[in-house]
């Protein structure tokens, strides 16, 4: 009987992460789930078992992450698939957000991801197999959302580091995929999950409108089902040649098409000036 792979999923107590962990356990995979509170994981999923290990992890603490991955390998004997899902949305224009607010978003969304990659790779590299999924966003390739600049920049960073990672680790037989989810019916846009600026500037009317739309209209009405999103990620993990870029959910491709059209239009409109730099 084939031994199922071991998954390590961050941000697993809610949203897409929770849906993924539940679906993995349904399919007899072994799962390490992390959150800031192990009790939240136990409440949602259950106590530790032969197939499940809940861990309380601070992703911004490199030593804590290193210890968690070591515990995972000790518990299951291996680690195969990493899903860097933990993160949160930060609203606010670039002028509004304080240095502290901006850095906090990068600490979780980017540096937390790097901490996991840094400490998981020695195991994956040694066994010459594995797959790392980094969860970005449609805001990781299209940043034209007023009031989402810092959040989008964290997700652009996740996409960029994944592209480099894929090249760095391919010689070891390890894969990397950046996932760009569209709007999913999770609590991502709930007022207790989405952070807003401590000191807003009312002059930014477009940002205030975007904030209101996301909190009051889009929230709860997102078109995509997180369970189906989880199923899609699992299918990608089973592919021999998985994509580096994976658009997840209805609407994701439309944002990409608009980005391409904008960039192509700018390139064509300003080509003469671009070529004027040639000697």
Cα–Cα distance measured from residue 65 to residue 229, given in angstroms and rounded to the nearest whole number: 26
Q: How far is C-alpha 273 from the chain's CA centre?
A: 38
The residues with which 135 forms a beta bridge, in sequence order, are 179
Neighbours of 196 (CB within 10 A): 16
* Burial zone of 134 (CB within 10 Å; 0-12 exposed, 13-18 middle, 19+ buried): buried
* Annotation says 258 is catalytic: no
Q: Residues 35, 136, 153, 210: which is the catalytic one?
A: 136
Q: Residues 29, 141, 151, 183: which is the catalytic one?
A: 151
Q: How far is C-alpha 226 from the chain's CA centre?
A: 13
From the list 181, 196, 148, 199, the residue with the least C-alpha distance to 20 is 181
Let me know the angle formed at the C-alpha of 153 by 151 and 154, rounded to the nearest 5 degrees.
65
Hey, what are 266's tokens? 């700018």
Q: Residues 5, 14, 155, 175: which is the catalytic one?
A: 155
Q: Which residues contact 125 (CB under 8 A, 6 or more apart)?
A: 169, 172, 174
* Annotation says 136 is catalytic: yes
Cα–Cα distance measured from residue 33 to residue 20, given in angstroms and rounded to the nearest whole number: 10
Cα–Cα distance measured from residue 5 to residue 78, given in angstroms and rounded to the nearest whole number: 8
Catalytic positions are: 136, 151, 155
């Amino acid at each position: 009987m084939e031994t199922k792979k071991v998954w390590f999923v961050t941000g697993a107590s809610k949203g897409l992460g929770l849906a993924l962990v539940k679906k993995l356990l349904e399919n007899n995979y072994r799962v390490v789930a992390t959150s800031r509170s192990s009790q939240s994981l136990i409440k949602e999923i259950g106590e530790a078992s032969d197939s499940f290990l809940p861990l309380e992890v601070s992703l911004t603490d490199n030593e804590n992450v290193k210890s968690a991955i070591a515990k995972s390998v000790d518990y299951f004997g291996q680690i195969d698939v990493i899903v860097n899902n933990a993160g949160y949305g930060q609203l606010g224009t670039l002028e509004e957000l304080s240095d502290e607010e901006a850095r906090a978003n990068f600490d979780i969304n980017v540096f937390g991801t790097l901490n996991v990659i840094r400490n998981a790779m020695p195991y994956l590299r040694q066994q010459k197999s594995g797959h790392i999924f980094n969860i970005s966003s449609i805001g990781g390739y299209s940043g034209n959302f007023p009031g989402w600049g810092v959040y989008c920049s964290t997700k652009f960073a996740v996409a960029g580091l994944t592209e480099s990672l894929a090249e760095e680790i391919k010689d070891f037989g390890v894969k990397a995929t950046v996932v760009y989810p569209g709007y999913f019916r999770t609590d991502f846009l709930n007022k207790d999950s989405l952070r807003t600026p401590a000191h807003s500037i009312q002059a930014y009317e477009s940002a205030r409108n975007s904030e209101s739309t996301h909190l009051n209209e889009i929230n709860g009405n997102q078109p995509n089902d997180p369970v189906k999103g989880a199923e899609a990620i699992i299918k990608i993990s089973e592919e021999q040649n998985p994509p580096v870029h994976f658009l997840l959910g209805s609407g994701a491709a439309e944002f990409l098409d608009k980005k391409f059209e904008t960039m192509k239009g700018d390139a064509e409109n300003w080509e003469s000036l671009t070529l004027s730099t040639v000697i």
